Amino acid sequence: MSLQSFAYVTNVSGANGTVSVIRLSDNIVVQTVPVGGVPFGIAITPNGQFVYVVNSFGSNVSVIQTSDNMVIQNITVGVGPLGIAITPNGQFAYVTNGNDDTVSVIRLSDNMVVQTIAVGDRPFGIAITPSGQFAYVTNQLDGTVSVIRLSDNMVVQTITVGSLPVAIAITPNGQFAYVPNSGSGTVSVIRLSDNMVIQTINVGSTPSGIAITPNGQFAYVPNTSSDTVSVIRISDNMVIQTITVGDAPRGIAITPNGQFAYVANTDDNNVSVIRLSDNMEIQTVTVGNSPLRVAITTITKPLSIPPTLKVTVFNIELTAIVYDNG
């Protein structure tokens, strides 16, 4: 057995959507998993055993078992689900339902929906604080973020941000949330101690995703209409670099060791691999049709052992021949 890292990429186009599984040691797609219609958001349990894929057209969530990448269950949620986040303790998943303005709460021990929470207009992205105490939900059409207290699943506050917020990420120290506003080309920075927007950062056109490095030093924001990724230095919230990637980048995930970012380029049907030490795109990986979101995990997998070569040896009689060199 060995530890191996994989990226799971939702591909939204086609009659039925798929998830591409990329082995990160060599950036090879090792499997394609059929899921539901228009798979959108994706999240992986903290133990790496299960991948939860939100199927927007099916209004359900597919559960993939990572040991063999088989879909073992489909869970019905609200209408038009878009985003998903899993609590740090791995006990619950929260799913944003864009078409009925709710969040479904799934108990992961039995994959049952145990509660439905009303939020804002077209809830889209969602992130949960490292403490597991609050979930932050971006409401795309009313330009707000709903704050859900997870102890009782009550909305305790609504924060106004920019135009058309579609994603959200929280710093590892739990102090700030970063919200890309796709309609205004900005990122709102929320201080979580008082849920105040303390800064607005200009990035590229139509920012549609975000990921923060494990050390909390940088945020990476794909800009769909600019075909770029903006790099924000979190210490001063300055954009320090802009990286050119593929056509219509949307989703992004960063490896647990903080060495690479994987960016889904929706209109190129591939994923850009960015080396974060110098922010260079070093490779593109072809995946399915219209990749949208990415999630990464490290799990224990059996070692790949080459097939045994069976050799049959027959009895051979050898006769020694002595030559006279004399």
| CA–CA distance, 293 with 85 (Å, rounded to integer) | 13
Residue 279 belongs to what domain range? 2-301
pLDDT, residue 303, reads 57
Residue 315 covered by a domain: no
Residues 6 or more apart whose Cβ sits within 8 Å of residue 314: none
Q: Which residue is associated with the tokens 């924060």?
A: 159
Count of domains observed in the chain: 1
Residue 78 covered by a domain: yes
* Domain CATH code at residue 128: 2.130.10.10
pLDDT, residue 60, reads 98
- Number of residues that make up the chain: 326
Residue 306 covered by a domain: no
Q: Which of 35, 48, 45 is nearest to 81 (CA)?
A: 35
Ranges of the chain with pLDDT below 50: 305-326
Neighbouring C-beta atoms of residue 230, cutoff 10 Å:
24
Sign of CA dihedral 67, 72, 75, 79: positive
pLDDT, residue 15, reads 65
Count how many Cα atoms sit within 13 Å of the Cα of residue 181 in the half-sphere of its side chain: 22
Residues 6 or more apart whose Cβ sits within 8 Å of residue 207: 167, 180, 181, 182, 185, 186, 187, 221, 222, 223, 224, 230
Residue 313 covered by a domain: no
pLDDT, residue 300, reads 76
Residue 317 covered by a domain: no
Per the DSSP assignment, residues forming a β-bridge with 249 are: 265
pLDDT, residue 299, reads 87
| CA–CA distance, 13 with 100 (Å, rounded to integer) | 23
pLDDT tens digit string along 266-302?
999 999 999 999 999 999 999 999 999 999 999 877 6
pLDDT, residue 302, reads 67
Residue 309 covered by a domain: no
pLDDT, residue 310, reads 43
| CA–CA distance, 263 with 260 (Å, rounded to integer) | 10
Sheet of 249-254: strand order equals 249-254, 260-265, 270-275, 280-286
Q: Which of 8, 6, 24, 74 is nearest to 251 (CA)?
A: 8
| Cβ neighbourhood burial of 61 (10 Å; 0-12, 13-18, 19+) | buried
| Cβ neighbourhood burial of 283 (10 Å; 0-12, 13-18, 19+) | middle
